[in-house]
């Protein structure tokens, strides 16, 4: 093997190594970016789960408050009032309160 061939082989190997290092660096950057995005996605999903639990608690509380309101509106004292709430308010399941004319 001549010295020229040997230098050529070393040069080719060096270029190949540099190319591989460049590819590894690019892949490393892409993996780092993917890891950052997945971390953000995980925090979004965690927040969504927290909000889902919060909504469930609020719906349950709302249902209890609606039941309590209906119970209070059925009490006899409301019939004795000059303007009974049962004649003014329309209490429905999930609808906005509307005034009757």
pLDDT, tens only, 5-47: 777 788 788 888 888 888 888 788 888 888 899 999 999 999 9
Taking 80 as the threshold, does the pLDDT of residue 72 lie above it? yes
- Supply 57's token pair: 């608690």
Report the chain's mean pLDDT, rounded to a whole number.
81
pLDDT at 97: 47
Evaluate if pTM is beyond 0.85: no
What dihedral angle (degrees, nearest 10) is formed by the CA atoms of 74, 80, 82, 85? Answer: -10
Q: Determine the Cα–Cα distance for residues 83 and 41; give it in Å rounded to an integer.
A: 54
Residues 6+ apart with CB under 8 A from 79: 86
Q: Which two tokens stand for residue 80?
A: 């004795």
Judged against a pLDDT cut of 90, whether residue 54 lies above it is answered with yes
């Amino acid at each position: 093997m001549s010295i020229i061939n040997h230098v050529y082989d070393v040069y080719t190997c060096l270029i190949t190594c540099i190319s591989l290092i460049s590819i590894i660096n690019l892949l490393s950057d892409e993996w780092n970016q993917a890891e950052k995005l997945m971390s953000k996605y995980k925090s979004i999903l965690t927040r969504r789960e927290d909000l889902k639990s919060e909504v469930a608690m609020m719906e349950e509380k709302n249902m209890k408050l609606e039941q309590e309101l209906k119970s209070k509106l059925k009490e006899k004292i409301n019939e004795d009032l000059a303007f009974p709430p049962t004649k003014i308010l329309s209490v429905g399941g999930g609808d906005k309160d509307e005034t009757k004319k």
